[in-house]
Structure 1
Amino acid sequence: MRHSIGLTLILLFLSACGGGEPAKTESAETAEQAAATAAETASAETAKSEAQAATGDCQLTLGWESYEPYQFRDLNGDVRGLDVDVVTAIAERVGCKITYQQGEWRELLDGIKSGKLDLIASATRTEDREEYAYFSDPYREEAFSLYVRAGEANKWAAKSIREMVRDKNMRIGLIDGYVYGGVIEDLLGEPELAPHFISASFSESHAANLLDGKIDGLMEDAYVAEAMIQRKNLGDRIERLPFNYHKGDVAIMFSKQSVQPDLVQRFNETIAAMKSDGKLEAISSRYKKK
């Protein structure tokens, strides 16, 4: 009887130990299932994106603002411009069709956040924007200049924007949502100097503010400002100070809500190809002849 009991205890002990690999915990199984699901989802999304491009079903909504010569509507009602032509050319090579939706810049950023828009051009990469958007490689540079009322260039002569604002009380018009580079961003962060910067939705508003004496200077891309000045026949009323205040790269910005990373990669490959074959330069030269 003792042998029988002893044998039974040994068998029970071995059974409890399992004699093999330890059982997986519930948390480990859950983690594995989550990883497998994520992998399957990513694979499915990639396959879907590739299939759309292959079958011509890739449809992208490009948000644009009135920003001549980069983005504008011509006399025939067609959306054109350097940025528009670049994005359209890239999309054609990738196999996507573009539709257009106009808005002010802040509205376009909100559209990227929500996924109502798939992409916008002329965007500067920032940490805040990277939380909700992907960025292509840069496809062109931008440079901001300061414009003042005609005949006042000598009045504002200074070594820096800080001197103009701090020592001469200059009021500068900016566009809401634009990124103007380190110097302007630093000044905006200083409580004593921030009130010297006035925001508006678009440049035409600040052109009127400048002429009405509500601001003393307008910060804008030189090509955009010159196009506006020519369009509104303001060449004898507004002049440019003779140096640039900020230069930087701009890229195409994609919504993380509606665009997959593999499509961004294909855009990057196409940007590189268009730089090599001269297509980007050809598009740029059509709009930057002056």
Structure 2
Amino acid sequence: MDADMARLILTEAGCEVEWHLWPMTGARIIRSLKDGEFDVMIRASDTEKRREYAYFSRPYRQEVVGLFSQKRAGLPSALTLDKALAEGLRLIGPASGWYGEHFQQLRSKWRALNLYTSYPDAAKGAELLFANPSRGDLILVDADIFFHFVGPARYESVIVHGSDLFVTPAHLMLRKEAVDEEDLQAIDQAIQVLRRDGRLQEMEKHYRPRPLLQILQE
């Protein structure tokens, strides 16, 4: 989804795109962008610290992060991260990345209690949840990627804890030394045009897994 959206946006803005496909953790991606190994990061969160070395485009789609468990665990659908921590439940969560200040604080507490299992990417996170025995009671993960790796055969075996469905804007993050403000304006204009004519929304809908579309429409 993000690769096709980025290609569409950058092409519309008049850029030539060269892809480099390397498996990386979120922290390694940030370091590599800062070091000039590449110039654009997709699906990025806009933070004040990152603005020291990067520009951010206007949002091009909505990122959905959810708190999930296996139905057989019998956990209440209204369970929140705070309640899960208070009850001593084990969490499978991202090794790095920005998920808000509140989660940063909770993650530190989970780690101090030795109840936190980190995953480098959402595919590995899904494996950890469905391992036998499972490595955690809950998983906090990008919902689009999670459902993709869970697969249709297991859609009905998981539950999303609705109070912790986070919908946040996703941006293109551009290394300041690689682009200037004129480039950024062209990219923002391309996003505006593509959202106005509906092409980005259609692409998002095309890739979004069916159960997640249903959850978002409720």
> Match of 2:95, as an amino acid?
D
* 1:287 pairs with 2:207: yes
Give 3-state SS (helix, strand or coil) of 2:72's partner. Answer: coil
Q: Where does the alignment leave 5 or more consecutive residues of structure 2 unmatched?
A: 211-218
Q: Give the Å deviation of 1:157.
A: 5.3
Determine the C-alpha separation between the residues in 1 that align with 2:123 and 2:209. 23
Match status 1:120 vs 2:14: no
Aligned to 1:170: 89
The alignment partner of 1:121 has SS state of strand
Does the alignment pair 1:223 with 2:144? yes
Distance 2:81 2:101 in 1: 12
Structure number, greater radius of gyration: 1
The TM-score normalised by the length of structure 1 is 0.64
Distance 2:110 2:124 in 1: 25
Sort the Cα spacing of 1:194 and 1:156 in 2 relative to 1 into closer, same or farther, 3 A. farther
Whole-angstrom CA distance in 1 between matches of 2:42 and 2:167: 17
Alignment of 1:4-19 (within 5 A): none
Structure 2 CA distance for partners of 1:194 and 1:269, relative to 1, 3 Å: farther
Contact in 1 for aligned 2:79/2:163 (Cα 8 Å): no
Compute the RMSD of aligned alpha carbons.
2.3
Q: Using the alignment, how far apart are the partners of 1:145 and 1:118 within structure 2?
A: 29
Change (3 A) 1:146 1:191: closer
**5+ residue gaps in structure 1?**
1-81
Aligned to 1:258: 178
**How many equivalent residue pairs?**
205
Q: Deviations over 1:118-177 (max 9, x none)?
A: 10111001122112211101111112112223411x3355542111111x2112112222
**TM-score using structure 2 length:** 0.83
Identity of aligned residues (%): 21
User: Contact 2:148–2:209 (CA<8 Å) still a contact in 1?
Assistant: no
Q: Does 1:278 align with 2:203?
A: no
- Residue type at the aligned position of 2:32: G
The Cα shift of 1:195 comes to 4.1
Alignment check: 8 A CA contact 2:80 2:161 kept: no
Structure with the larger RCO, 1 or 2 (CA within 8 Å, 6+ apart): 2
